Amino acid sequence: MNVRQDTHSKFMGYLLWIFGFLGSHRFYYGKPVTGTIWFFTFGLFFIGWIIDLFLIPAMDDEADLRFTAGELDYNIAWILLTFLGVFGVHRMYQGKWISGLLYLCTGGLLFVGVLYDFWTLNDQVSVRNAVQRL
């Protein structure tokens, strides 16, 4: 029997949706390609952004099935990345101290590393959680 674990929050999804015309909620739910498209087109000229209001429950369910729950909390990791990404705090939270300190000294590797983490943070946390389960 496959037990569904709650890895992502609908509340956080809707909170990020407020700024979703920049793709933040799509990155959060593990959809970096469409998140990037939303970022450059203002949520597909706000039409896609409005439609996403109704799609968030499905995106949340999909993320809960796709990513591994565990000791590291996705919501905390995303808050740290969003507000302190250039300082590497989200990497330190995951136990990646060397790259976290590198981000701290280089402004998130001149923002390129932060952009990379927006694309891959869910997978990074999921891998860490899977390894900790073993």
pLDDT of amino acid 69: 95
| Euclidean distance between CA atoms 124 and 27, whole angstroms | 13
Of 101, 72, 74, 75, whose CA–CA distance to 88 is shortest?
101
Cα–Cα distance, 108 to 121 (Å, whole number): 14
**Token reading at 17:** 């949706």
With CA atoms as reference, report the closest residue to 119 among 70, 85, 92.
85
Q: Give residue 4's pLDDT.
A: 67
What amino acid is encoded at 83 in this protein?
Answer: F
Give average pLDDT by consecutive 10-residue segment, the chain, 134 residues.
79 91 93 95 93 96 96 96 95 98 96 95 97 85
Q: 97-134 burial, b if ≥16 CB within 10 A, otherwise e?
A: eeebeebbeeebbeeebbeebbeebbebbbbbbeeeee
pTM (2 decimals)?
Answer: 0.90
